[in-house]
Chain A
């Protein structure tokens, strides 16, 4: 088992965090993660986070919902037990579709929203009973933390510390962890 070091650099302002992150990245340092109490706009491209594909997932769930609704409606109303309502018999799905639009729409939205929400929670690993992994409780309040690992950088922990201390941090800490 290899032991390596994790460095947490804390800032008391989001703009300081952004400046520091850009400076560190410019020196070729790889930032493992950033913890913040609210979304800091502009940090994603700096630390190399790509845009999430959750919207595509949502669209796929919506299409699944639409197909299931169409299939269900065809089976209930056309195939299994066609009804003659007020002299308007249900001959084919196509002829009956205007009356089915509301349910198809609602069911598509239902699947899209819940499918996306579940995917979001699973991908994040945020589920009921999961332990919190933020390095300091203040990061959900008013502090912003940059996390760096010496195992992912060519620099040693000491060199990373030296580089970080030039970005006027609020606090810094280095811990050992088992990789």
Chain B
């Protein structure tokens, strides 16, 4: 049995029982869809359809419909890829790292954060896929025996490491998520009345019956998966950063990249979790489970990672001067005063200054302020990747090959489209899946439920 000081703020508000938790989490699944949900899914699926249209047009016509040129061969596509992968880091971090640290507050948010991870990684993987131009040859990135002679993929290249890292991360996150979902699907199976619903949730729940031995194995599997997913999270974004850091482009070729990228990823991932969670708690009526205490803890993580990112920006800037390498110095002078200076200063404002507002307790515990700042951080993190990629590429060693990148409507369309697809998937998840790890929540009800704590306090007096 868990113990927690009775004066500590409870994690589950209101007078809840085990049954009440089931009722609350199952309400959106068994009941009619809330109005807010219907409006949101209509908008997001229209945007998604537009995005799919843009992607089909891109595949049909060629990558030339983007604003890329021979100087800037990577721009919005890889910016979006890194941005989405970064967002995809929060889910596994919340469920794996916080599980290892035995943080009970993760239980209200881990399920939906993991879902967010999976959808974000799908969106991320779309970009290198469509950037290939010939998507149907995508399987060439795998080491398969082939008819071109003994031609293997190059295992010395970080781009190939990324293939392994992203696919491992995606599939392991999926397994981790699904194993946690099985017992909750069983709860839905035993609750729903419609015969089709019963059948579908019956198949999804794999015949889970909640035997003591199965729970024993369940906990071990969760713990070991968390143990191996933790280094996996760090490795994935480190490898993404090496896509840049192992090349000799000024502004990319730095050893600071892996930790800098990982903290940036956690930073933006938590911001996206905040955005989605605050909408979800309102539309799905989960205010007793996701509340100020959760939001405050996540904001603290945002301050920490945001400050690491800030320090990394300043370190980069200092080293570019201190190194004495003129190409390196110019890359950074160009960043803050060149044609893309606006992006640089947007990035600085959104990522370095805005999260520092969370030092003020009132702001940290305000849901409205958190919602606004979480969006600001995500905008900032998108610009960070844009700044790193485009400003470094557009002016490198040889001024005669300098160029500029301007986004086309297809750059914008594909990006907005992935936002729509992502949101549509997430909304479908909130309607048909248990959005909270309901059975895990029951295990902390006695130690961290509001009425249970009140009772314990009364008893001690």
Contacts and interface: CB of A to CB of B under 8 A. Distances in A.
Interface of A: 14-15, 33-44, 47, 49, 51-52, 54-55, 58, 62, 72-73, 76-77, 80-81, 83, 85, 96, 99-100, 102-103, 105-107, 109-110, 112-114, 116-117, 120-121, 123-134, 137-142
25 contacts: A35-B209, A37-B210, A39-B218, A43-B212, A51-B216, A52-B213, A52-B216, A52-B217, A76-B152, A77-B156, A80-B150, A80-B152, A105-B231, A105-B235, A113-B175, A114-B171, A120-B221, A124-B214, A133-B211, A134-B190, A134-B209, A137-B190, A137-B191, A140-B187, A142-B442
B440 A38 contact: yes
Nearest to B153: A76
Interface residues of B, number: 67
Contacts of B228: 58, 62, 109, 112-113
A49 B228 CA distance: 25
B211 A34 contact: yes
Nearest to A120: B221
Given A72-B143, A99-B155, A142 B17 contact: yes
B189 interface: yes
Give the top 10 A-B pairs by smallest Cβ distance, nearest first: A130-B207, A137-B190, A142-B18, A39-B215, A126-B206, A134-B209, A34-B212, A102-B161, A106-B164, A76-B152
Contacts of A100: 155
B224 interface: yes
A141 B18 contact: yes
A91 to B, nearest CB: 13
A113 B229 contact: yes
A124 B190 contact: no
Nearest to A41: B1
Contact of B172 (A113, A120, A131): A113
Contacts of B229: 109, 113
B221 A102 contact: no
Given A39-B219, A106-B168, A139 B210 contact: yes
Interface string B425-453: 00000000000000110110010000000
Interface string B151-181: 1111110101100110110011001100100
B61 interface: no
A96 B157 CA distance: 12
Interface of A is mostly: helix
B220 interface: yes
B206 A128 contact: yes
A107 B164 contact: yes
Interface in B136-155: 143, 150-155
A7 B127 CA distance: 58
Given A15-B1, A134-B210, 16 more contacts: A35-B212, A37-B187, A38-B215, A39-B443, A55-B224, A62-B228, A76-B153, A102-B161, A102-B239, A103-B155, A109-B172, A109-B232, A114-B175, A120-B221, A140-B183, A140-B189
Nearest to A42: B1
A54 B217 contact: yes
Contact of A142 (B19, B143, B160, B164): B19
Contact of A117 (B17, B167, B204, B221): B221
